[in-house]
Structure 1
């Protein structure tokens, strides 16, 4: 529509320039009016296009953030379960490290604990939505600076901290596995018990205790995720499910 107006008034300018029945000053005034109309039409077209584009961007931001909220709610549940799982690992390693090489254990309990000591559990966040939004170059369309900063801190700082601490735990578990493979002479329960209760075996088991740092980093990720969820709820209150009465 604006293009038609520009074309119409552009023709008027050409027509006025060619007219000879009016004085030059009169024609110049009319041309100025036509040019002003053209400028206004172009400016209005640009403004409306920008408004439409901004609305579209914010609709994409809304869709991303509402989806991100669901991802983070799942991550919080996963991290809560993982933290509890590591407490179980700690208790299991502590039991194995406490065994007396000169005292016969409860063999059923020992074999169960030995098998469980090879298990591991890592945090794998629902991150594909965030990665896709970053790769599309749309992350900066989030106009809430506090929210944007929190999201970046979560994935670029808190997550890397967790991965670093989990990597340390994995390294210690690998050393324990390698020692067992080197020392084991068979798969019978007495061979497993002998390797478990050597001085080095006990030392490696004690080192498997989850560090306080890892628990703290899990909790830090959980707390920041909850802050982000609260900010998203504040931005889009219509998405908040009503509480049951």
Structure 2
């Protein structure tokens, strides 16, 4: 529509310049008016285009944030389960480390605990949506600076910290696993019990106790996620995560 107006008034300017029946001053006033109309039409077109583009970007931000809210809710549920899982691991390793090599254990309980001691559980966040929005360069379209900072802090700082702590736990478990493989002479319950109750075996089991730092980092991620969820819910109170 604006392009048609510009073309129309552009033709008027050319037409006025060619008229001979009007005085120069009159023609200049007419031309100036037509040029002013053209400038206004162009400016209005640019403003409307910018407004439309901004609206489109904010719709993309809205869709992203509502989806992210659902992703973080899933992450919080996963971390709550993982924390409980690690408490179970701690109790299991503590039981194995407490066994007296001179006393026969409850063999059914022992074998179950031994099998569980090889299990592990790591946090796998739902972050494909975040990574896609980040890689596309659209993350900076989030106009709420506090919310943007919180999201970046969560994924760029807190998540790597969790992965570092989980890596330390994994390294200790690998040492325990390697020791068992080196020392085991069979897979019968007596062999498993012997390697479990050696001084080194008991020390490696005690080392498997989850550090307070890992629990703290899980909880910090949960707290930050809940804060982001709250901010998104306040920004779009009538919407649900998609």
Do the structures match in fold with TM over 0.5? Answer: yes
> For the residues of structure 2 that align with 1:12 and 1:141, how far apart are their CA atoms?
42
> For the residues of structure 1 that align with 2:151 and 2:119, how far apart are their CA atoms?
31
> For the residues of structure 1 that align with 2:170 and 2:25, how far apart are their CA atoms?
86
Query: Which residue is equivalent to 1:194?
Result: 194
1:85-112 CA deviation, whole Å, 9 max, x = no partner?
A: 0000000000001111111111111000
Assess if the C-alpha contact under 8 Å between 2:93 and 2:117 holds in 1. yes
Query: Which residue is equivalent to 1:74?
Result: 74
Query: Which residue is equivalent to 1:48?
Result: 48
Whether 1:231 aligns to 2:227 is no
TM-score by length of 2: 0.98
Query: Which residue is equivalent to 1:172?
Result: 172
- Taking the TM superposition and a 5 Å limit, the aligned residue runs for 1:156-167 are 156-167=156-167
> For the residues of structure 1 that align with 2:28 and 2:182, how far apart are their CA atoms?
98
CA-CA distance at 1:19 after TM superposition: 1.1
Structure 2, unmatched stretches of 5+, are none
> For the residues of structure 2 that align with 1:149 and 1:23, how far apart are their CA atoms?
64
Query: Which residue is equivalent to 2:39?
Result: 39
SS in 2 for 1:33: helix
CA-CA distance at 1:41 after TM superposition: 0.3
Whether 1:15 aligns to 2:23 is no
RMSD in angstroms over aligned alpha carbons? 0.9
CA-CA distance at 1:240 after TM superposition: 5.7
> For the residues of structure 2 that align with 1:63 and 1:94, how far apart are their CA atoms?
47
Query: Which residue is equivalent to 1:111?
Result: 111
> For the residues of structure 2 that align with 1:174 and 1:57, how far apart are their CA atoms?
47
SS in 2 for 1:239: coil
> For the residues of structure 1 that align with 2:16 and 2:150, how far apart are their CA atoms?
60
CA-CA distance at 1:62 after TM superposition: 0.6
Which portions of structure 1, spanning 4 or more consecutive aligned residues, are displaced by more than 3 angstroms? none
Whether 1:86 aligns to 2:86 is yes
SS in 2 for 1:187: coil
1:171-229 CA deviation, whole Å, 9 max, x = no partner?
A: 00000000000000000000001100111101110000000000000000000000001
Query: Which residue is equivalent to 2:222?
Result: 222
TM-score by length of 1: 0.97
The 10-residue stretch of structure 1 (10-19 or 213-222) with the greater mean CA deviation from structure 2 = 10-19
> For the residues of structure 2 that align with 1:150 and 1:27, how far apart are their CA atoms?
61
> For the residues of structure 1 that align with 2:8 and 2:133, how far apart are their CA atoms?
42
CA-CA distance at 1:31 after TM superposition: 0.7
The 10-residue stretch of structure 1 (183-192 or 15-24) with the greater mean CA deviation from structure 2 = 15-24
Query: Which residue is equivalent to 1:25?
Result: 25
Structure 1, unmatched stretches of 5+, are none
